Structure 1
Amino acid sequence: MKITENIEGFIKAQNEADSTAFANYFTEHATVSDEGSSYSGREEIKGWIEEATEKYNMHTKVIDFTQTGSKGTLTVEASGTFPGSPLVMNYHLEMDGTLISSLRITG
């Protein structure tokens, strides 16, 4: 499994609870879909990850990553203070160059 540098940085920022660095891995008008809610733009994404980090104290460990063209799937084991922890989650990514334009989390 080969993980691209930008995805490694994205996971590192999430695990270090660095919401500003995390949001900077997204395009200016990116979207995130998680737990039935959607967030648009870096500021909303930053707010979402700050709230999720505070609520769940989540840490992710990469299990698998595949990318074909601009689409990728990142499979992680997520642990934290949420029911069923740890859980395997899939991050469905759409990329615009090295930045994420869309993230949909399932699992």
Structure 2
Amino acid sequence: MTLPDPVQRYFEADRASDPEALARPFAPDGIVEDEKRTFAGHQAIEGWWRETKAKYEHVTEPLESVEQDGVLRVRARLIGRFPSSPAILTFQFRLTGNHITRLEVGL
């Protein structure tokens, strides 16, 4: 599957367990929404990822993607330490230029 560069870098950094590299594709004021919480800016996004990785010890595998109305939806399998593992989640990316401006993670 071919993904836009910032999204590809996001998933590669997640796989490599590198929170700094994971935050780099985001715009400086980029936003992540996950589990009914919002994280804005690189430092907050790194903190979100560290907390989530420590809690769930998850591995993310992108399965398919579709772009519609300016939103790239990536369905991915998450395997980790949580009751419904493995789970299929949708990562909704909004991009501006070569940056992720918003990521919403949900079912």
Q: Is the 8 A contact 2:64 2:74 kept in 1?
A: yes
- CA, structure 1 residues 23+12, in 2 after alignment: closer, same or farther (shift >3 Å)? same
Query: 1:68: how far off?
Result: 4.3
Query: 1:17: how far off?
Result: 1.1
Query: 1:74: how far off?
Result: 0.9
Aligned residue number for residue 93 of structure 1: 93
Aligned residue number for residue 78 of structure 2: 78
In the TM superposition, what whole-angstrom CA distance separates every residue of 1:17-42 from its partner, at most 9, and x where no partner exists? 10000000100001111001111111
Q: Distance in 2 between matches of 1:83 and 1:58?
A: 12
Aligned residue number for residue 17 of structure 2: 17
3-state SS of paired residue (2:83) = coil
Query: 1:66: how far off?
Result: 1.8
3-state SS of paired residue (2:84) = coil
Q: Give the unaligned 5+ runs of structure 2.
A: none
Aligned residue number for residue 36 of structure 1: 36
TM-score using structure 2 length: 0.92
3-state SS of paired residue (2:102) = strand
TM-score using structure 1 length: 0.92
Q: Is the 8 A contact 2:78 2:87 kept in 1?
A: yes
Matched, 1:52 2:52: yes
Count residues with an aligned counterpart: 107
